[in-house]
Amino acid sequence: MIGTNPFVDYRSQFKTKYFPLNIKKKTDVIVRAMKWTTMSMVLCIVLMHSSDVSGQVEINDFEINHIEYQQKYRQAIIDGDKKRQAELLEIIVKDYNAQSKWDSVYRYNNLIAEVQLELGNKERYLNAYMVNISINEILENSNSNHKEKIEEIAKYMDDLDLSNFRRGEIAVMVGKYIFYNVDRDSAIVVMDKAIAFAEMPEVDKAYALGMRTQKAAFLNGMNRNEEAINELIYVANNENFTFEPALKRWYVLDQLGELFLDIEDYRKAEEYFTKAIRLAEENNYVSSEADSKLIFGGAKIKEGKVDEGQLMINQSLEVFRSKNKYRNIVSVFTTLGESYLKKNNLNKVKSSIDSAEIYLDYVQESSIATNRTAIMINLNLLKAEYYLRSEKYEMIEPLLLEFFDDKVEKDYPSFTLRSNYLYYEMNKAKGNTSASLDYYERYIAQRDALADKNNSVRVQLIESQFNRQEQDKQIAVLDAVTKEQQKSLSTRNTALVIGGFMLAFLAGLLIGLYRLFKKNKEYQSKLEVQNMTIQNALAENKILIKEIHHRVKNNLQVISSLLSLQERKVTDENTKEALKSSKTRVETMSILHQSLYQGDEVRGIGVKKYFTDLISNLIDTYTVNDNIQTRIDIDELRIDVDSMIPIGLVANELICNALKHGLGDRENGYIAVSLKEVDDKVILSVADSGAKLSQNALKVREGSLGVKLINAFTNRLDGKLEVQTGSETKISLLIDKENINFIDE
């Protein structure tokens, strides 16, 4: 079998999570961690796959006499013996590799690559070349042209002369570069290609599982948590998973626990954390067990199970102290401080803060300080909460401002969320009502937005879809059973008719016919029960669809609220107008989904009520003068949602145009909106008594987004726009009825 998957303890070397805030930096820290992880994986691989040449040389001790071997190497150069040069270089580079002397490994690997290329051994040439790319990352060698090196190996990805293992190894390296420097979505495509190579029959199956684990790390860094979970569950359920090193199995189970915590599925998180902790205990992985208990204990505290969480945290503390893992110790004391806040024990909170700050100095001085910002953010939030409860309000704002900038706001959304809440509580306590309400509004808006980002809504929709599919299957089975029973019932009814004719001649069959009639009644009763089951399933499906429309409407309202908040903060009138227009378009769709979940029909809506709500909302948005009359003439039509969306958006643009440009600041006038069924057409008209619009007005404004939307949706409906001027300005959209999906009553 070609290829193995040497496992690196990603978590203990490179990654730290910080509860109870569940802060997860998805950019610099995680990217840096994954870079080191992949580099370490490649360095391990070279030791296991570079034996095709040097395997002919016996090496009993890696502490070799370098002067002696360098002299032998120079003699091989003089003799022109390329094969001997390669053998000696392999011995030298393995010795330096064992001593972690990366500068020397890099220098001699370059020589190996040159010699192996001359010998025609592309496999070993590429292996040495890729290791040096990874060493460049460790040494942060800015003089190396990383892009050119990646392009050099990328051209070998589809080389059929290479083993599938090597092609997969190349794909991983290229995918890693794309992920960090070009486009993350494209990197996932390349990772899928790497997995395809690794799943070829001749490649060790464990290597493919390692690639899927790496892909899951990338997906996690992109906040695509469901896909990351699916990849790791695939790994965990694979038959080869039980043959993997126990440390790798722990890592996968631990990561699944963390990912389920991210989407706030505590039941599944507990299931996987319990498995990870048990596996670490069985294999005496003390550090790994402590890592899992730190995260899981913090989650327990956040969930309100404070005593249970504190027990786990204290158990992990002893391990971290014994191994001088200062970064983790700071996280432990920060998390313990949060647990004491829940018990309102301010003395112990202060003690935890003091202990965390002592160990923070060691983190600063240690060589593993990449996550210091994340640690400080957590600690500052804990201190701010402590000062809030201690009524030392003047101490809070400097702590919150120390790290606050656009980058932190993007990378640590939980910090921004909790900062807004602390500002709200602080201003409320100081009696600053206006500022308090403003921060509370920000907090609510961001909390709702984060609820979407943690994918809980998406997971619920996926589960709903799954349930609907299961119900559809059940309904299909019930339909099949019903048809069979109807056939059976028809046969028995025929028998009853024949028996009736024979009754005059065969009185002795009366008892048999009675029994047959009784069975017929039993079948009818069963049929009624099954029909009722079908009706209940259909009703439940309808409720689920309504719930989806309700959730979509809520999410659109969140977007509308965020646009409103942004509109209040900007001063440029053009920007304010653009935000207001975007808000009306979002609310147009929101009103439609609201009509869908409030109505009896889930496929379409009543047009009259929809337009009434739409016009009312737009008038409120643009604060129209009370003297402006609104004339609405809408036929009682019921239209499918796919047709109603473009009609509603065109109506939104036309009505907004009339309110902004037609009526403007006029003291009186009118706006008239109609949707009429005329012969074979449906005609939407918007008229106003304001400024006149010429026939060529739409062409003049065709560069605006509103006109582009009107033209796009008109084309989608195969409609036609007409502009009429005179005593009023009137724009009409004419649509053939055959292009509209109507809902039958």
Distance CA 672, CA 109 (A): 79
**Is the pLDDT at 518 greater than 60, yes or no?**
yes
Q: What is the CATH number of domain 570-739?
A: 3.30.565.10
**Is the pLDDT at 144 greater than 60, yes or no?**
no
Average pLDDT rounded to a whole number, residues 547-555: 71
**Is the pLDDT at 549 greater than 60, yes or no?**
yes
- Cβ(295)–Cβ(276) under 8 Å? no
Q: Which residues contact 135 (CB under 8 A, 6 or more apart)?
A: 39, 43, 102, 105, 106, 109
pLDDT for res 210: 83
Q: Which pLDDT tens digit goes with each residue over 211-246?
A: 888 888 888 878 777 788 888 888 888 877 877 788
pLDDT for res 48: 41
| Angle between helix 164-181 and helix 146-154 axes, rounded to 10 deg | 150
Q: Which residues contact 130 (CB under 8 A, 6 or more apart)?
A: 42, 46, 153, 169, 170, 173
**Is the pLDDT at 563 greater than 70, yes or no?**
yes
DSSP 87-146: HHHHHHHHHHHHTT-HHHHHHHHHHHHHHHHHHT-HHHHHHHHHHHHHHHHHHT-TTS-H
pLDDT band with cut points at 50, 70 and 90 for residue 695 = very low
pLDDT band with cut points at 50, 70 and 90 for residue 627 = confident
**Is the pLDDT at 570 greater than 70, yes or no?**
yes
**Is the pLDDT at 47 greater than 50, yes or no?**
no
Q: Secondary structure of the chain: what % helix, strand, coil (to 5)?
A: 75, 5, 20
pLDDT for res 369: 39
Respond yes or no on whether the N-terminal peptide bond of residue 20 is cis (omega within 30° of 0).
yes
pLDDT for res 466: 47
Q: Which range has the worst mean pLDDT, 7-16, 139-148, 324-333, 630-639? A: 7-16
- Cβ(513)–Cβ(503) under 8 Å? yes
Alpha carbons within 13 A on the beta-carbon side of 711: 10
Distance CA 2, CA 208 (A): 12
Q: In terms of Cα–Cα distance, which of 640, 631, 732 is closest to 682?
A: 732
Q: Which residues pair with 723 in a beta bridge?
A: 731
pLDDT for res 508: 55
Beta strand pairing call for 628-634 and 669-678? parallel
- Cβ(724)–Cβ(744) under 8 Å? no
Provide the residue ranges of all domains of the chain, joining segments of one domain with +: 1-241, 456-560, 570-739
Between 137 and 574, residue with greater pLDDT: 574
pLDDT for res 377: 83
Query: Which 3 state secondary structure label does DSSP give 584?
Result: helix
Alpha carbons within 13 A on the beta-carbon side of 619: 18
* Burial grade of 558 (CB within 10 A; 0-12, 13-18, 19 or more): buried
Average pLDDT rounded to a whole number, residues 469-487: 57
**Is the pLDDT at 478 greater than 60, yes or no?**
no
Query: Which 3 state secondary structure label does DSSP give 173?
Result: helix
Alpha carbons within 13 A on the beta-carbon side of 151: 4
Cβ atoms within 10 A of the Cβ of 736, count? 13
- Cβ(325)–Cβ(16) under 8 Å? no
The 8-class DSSP code of residue 402 comes to S
pLDDT for res 278: 92
pTM of the predicted structure, to 2 decimals: 0.51
Distance CA 409, CA 431 (A): 27
Q: Which residues contact 285 (CB under 8 A, 6 or more apart)?
A: 246, 247, 250, 279
pLDDT for res 277: 92
**Is the pLDDT at 37 greater than 70, yes or no?**
no
570-739 shares the fold of 1-241: no
Q: In terms of Cα–Cα distance, which of 336, 332, 329 is closest to 361?
A: 329
Phi, psi of 223 (to 5 degrees): 65, 20
Average pLDDT rounded to a whole number, residues 100-118: 85
Query: Which 3 state secondary structure label does DSSP give 688?
Result: strand
**Is the pLDDT at 461 greater than 50, yes or no?**
no
Average pLDDT rounded to a whole number, residues 654-674: 79
- The residue type found at 382 is L
Residue in the block written with tokens 């499906």: 541
Query: Which 3 state secondary structure label does DSSP give 524?
Result: helix
Residue in the block written with tokens 């026939």: 695
Q: In terms of Cα–Cα distance, which of 231, 15, 50 is closest to 130?
A: 50
Tokens matching residue 677: 């069924």
209, containing H or E segment: helix 205-221
**From 1.20.1530.20, 1.25.40.10, 1.10.3720.10, 3.20.20.150, which CATH number describes the 1-241 domain?**
1.25.40.10
Distance CA 600, CA 96 (A): 75
Distance CA 232, CA 245 (A): 16
3-state secondary structure 276-296: HHHHHHHCCCHHHHHHHHHHH
> Burial code of 535-546, b = ≥16 C-beta within 10 A, e = fewer?
eebeeebeebbb
Q: In terms of Cα–Cα distance, which of 115, 124, 137 is closest to 37?
A: 137
Handedness of CA 441, 447, 451, 452 (dihedral sign): positive
DSSP 218-249: HHHHTT-HHHHHHHHHHHHHSTTGGGS-HHHH
Average pLDDT rounded to a whole number, residues 251-276: 86
pLDDT for res 45: 43
- The residue type found at 154 is A
pLDDT for res 699: 46
Average pLDDT rounded to a whole number, residues 727-737: 87
Average per-residue pLDDT in the chain?
A: 75
Distance CA 36, CA 39 (A): 5
Phi, psi of 725 (to 5 degrees): -125, 160
Average pLDDT rounded to a whole number, residues 582-593: 78
Q: In 504-600, which ranges are continuous DSSP H helix?
A: 510-569, 573-598
DSSP 345-399: -HHHHHHHHHHHHHHHHHHHHSS--TTHHHHHHHHHHHHHHHHHHTT-GGGHHHH
pLDDT for res 362: 78
